[in-house]
Amino acid sequence: DTEVTQTPKHLVMGMTNKKSLKCEQHMGHRAMYWYKQKAKKPPELMFVYSYEKLSINESVPSRFSPECPNSSLLNLHLHALQPEDSALYLCASSQIPVLRGFGNTIYFGEGSWLTVV
């Protein structure tokens, strides 16, 4: 079982709605991620938070707004989405890699299925 918990599992929203996706981890990881996954594709990185600060934004449209209230929680606020934003949104976490060390495992949640109508 994954130790990264995401809610809701399914979300249907209209193009004018505002909704949020939530993620929680209790593994003590200080890096947290949002990925987007379309059908039959690998996960695609959207945002990275390191020590609760946004460190990577992969040119994501402003209708997606991430937030990291504390070291265990990660939110993704959604507003004025388009039908093409329908996808599986994955939250993930990892330890911060040690410089000159080996890479660390990224642990994924089960995802939130988003449908924009």
Q: State the residues that interact with another protein by CB under 8 A.
A: 2, 4, 6, 31, 33, 40-43, 48, 50, 55-56, 88, 90, 94-111, 113
- Asked if residues 107 and 93 have their Cβ atoms less than 8 Å apart, the reply is yes
Closest CA to 114 of 88, 94, 96: 88
Specify the residue, 81 or 94, whose C-beta has the smaller distance to another protein: 94
Least CB distance from residue 46 to another protein, whole Å? 13
Least CB distance from residue 80 to another protein, whole Å? 26
Specify the residue, 65 or 108, whose C-beta has the smaller distance to another protein: 108
Instruction: Give the C-alpha separation, 47 to 34, whole Å.
Output: 5
Specify the residue, 96 or 117, whose C-beta has the smaller distance to another protein: 96
Instruction: Give the C-alpha separation, 70 to 74, whole Å.
Output: 8
CA-atom Rg of the chain in angstroms: 14
User: How crowded is the C-beta side of 48, counted as CA atoms within 13 Å?
Assistant: 13
Specify the residue, 17 or 37, whose C-beta has the smaller distance to another protein: 37
Least CB distance from residue 16 to another protein, whole Å? 28
